[in-house]
Chains A and B, each alone.
Chain A
Amino acid sequence: MKLTLKIWRQKNATAKGSIQTYPIDGIDGDMSFLEMLDVLNTQLINKGEEPVVFDHDCREGICGTCSLQINGEPHGPDRLITTCQLHMRKFNDGDTIVIEPFRAKAFPVIKDLMVDRSSFDRIQQAGGYISVNTSGNTIDANAIPIEKDDADASFNAAACIGCGACVAACKNASAMLFTAAKVSQFALLPQGRVEASRRVLNMVEQMDKEGFGNCTNTGACEVECPKGISLENIARMNREYLSAGLKG
Chain B
Amino acid sequence: MGFISTSIARKVAMALSGLFLVFFLGQHFVINISSVIDPDTFNSWSHFMGTNGLVQFLLQPVLIFGVIFHFIMGFILEYQNRKARAINYKSFKGNNNSSWASRNMLISGVVILAFLGLHFYDFWVPEIVHKYIESHPEDPSRYFPELVHKFESPVRVGLYALAFILLIFHLWHGFSSSFQSVGFNNKYSRALKGFTRLYAVLIPLGFVFIALYHHFNQLPH
A residues within 8 Å of B by Cβ? 6, 8, 19, 69, 71-73, 77, 98, 100, 103-106, 169, 171-174, 176, 204-205, 207-208, 211-220, 223-224, 231-232, 234-242, 245
Contacts and interface: CB of A to CB of B under 8 A. Distances in A.
B88 A103 contact: yes
Contacts of B181: 215, 217, 238
25 contacts: A19-B90, A72-B91, A72-B92, A73-B97, A100-B89, A103-B85, A103-B88, A171-B92, A173-B84, A173-B85, A214-B77, A216-B105, A216-B177, A217-B102, A217-B173, A217-B181, A218-B94, A219-B98, A220-B97, A224-B97, A231-B180, A237-B8, A237-B183, A238-B8, A238-B180
Counting contact residues on chain B (CB < 8 A from A), the size range is: 35 or more
A72 B96 CA distance: 9
A214 B98 contact: no
Closest 4 CB pairs between A and B? A239-B183, A235-B185, A213-B84, A72-B93
- Scoring A205, A213, A217, A232 by chain B CB atoms within 10 A of each residue's CB, the highest score goes to A217
B6 A171 contact: no
B103 interface: yes
Interface in B88-145: 88-94, 96-99, 102-103, 105
A204 B8 contact: yes
Interface stretch (B9-17, B49-57, B59-67, B209-217): B9-17
Given A106-B84, A212-B84, A215-B11, A72 B89 contact: yes
Nearest to A19: B90
B85 A213 contact: yes
Contact of A219 (B11, B12, B102): B102
A214 B11 contact: yes
Contacts of B103: 171, 218
Contacts of A223: 96-98
Contacts of B83: 105, 211, 213
A242 B80 contact: no
A207 B181 CA distance: 17
A174 to B, nearest CB: 7
A184 B145 CA distance: 57
A245 B9 CA distance: 9
B80 A216 contact: no
Contacts of B58: none
Contacts of A220: 94, 97-98
A213 B81 contact: yes
